[in-house]
């Protein structure tokens, strides 16, 4: 293999590695922003619950009831033939 071929391969590999590194850094930045946004959202929910505890409790109980009713509509995984 000639020096120019090796140099070309080395450049291609370097570009590929740099592309992967940039992608990983971008993913890490996005994950960090999402984590910060989630922390902010949790703080807002906490503030609403503290400001209106009865309303928050009613919402939670209603959601639990609705999810329970929806869960009862799903077919059971237990076979009745055994």
pLDDT tens-digit readout, 24-77? 999 999 998 888 888 888 888 889 899 999 999 999 999 999 999 988 888 877
Q: Where are the domains of the chain?
A: 29-70
- In order, the DSSP letters of 32-68 are HHHHHHHHHHHHHHHHHHHH-HHHHHHHHHHHHHHHH
pLDDT for 51 = 94
**Mean pLDDT along residues 17-26:** 89
Tokens linked to 36: 């910060």
**pLDDT confidence of 12, banded at 50, 70, 90?**
confident
User: pLDDT-based confidence at 79, cuts 50/70/90?
Assistant: low
């Amino acid at each position: 293999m000639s020096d120019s071929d090796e140099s070309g391969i080395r450049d291609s590999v370097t570009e590929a590695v740099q592309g992967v590194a940039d992608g990983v850094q971008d993913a890490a930045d996005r994950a960090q922003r999402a984590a910060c946004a989630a922390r902010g959202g949790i703080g807002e929910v906490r503030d609403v619950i503290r400001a209106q505890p009865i309303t928050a409790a009613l919402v939670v109980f209603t959601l639990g009831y609705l999810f329970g009713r929806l869960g009862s509509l799903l077919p059971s995984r237990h076979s009745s033939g055994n």
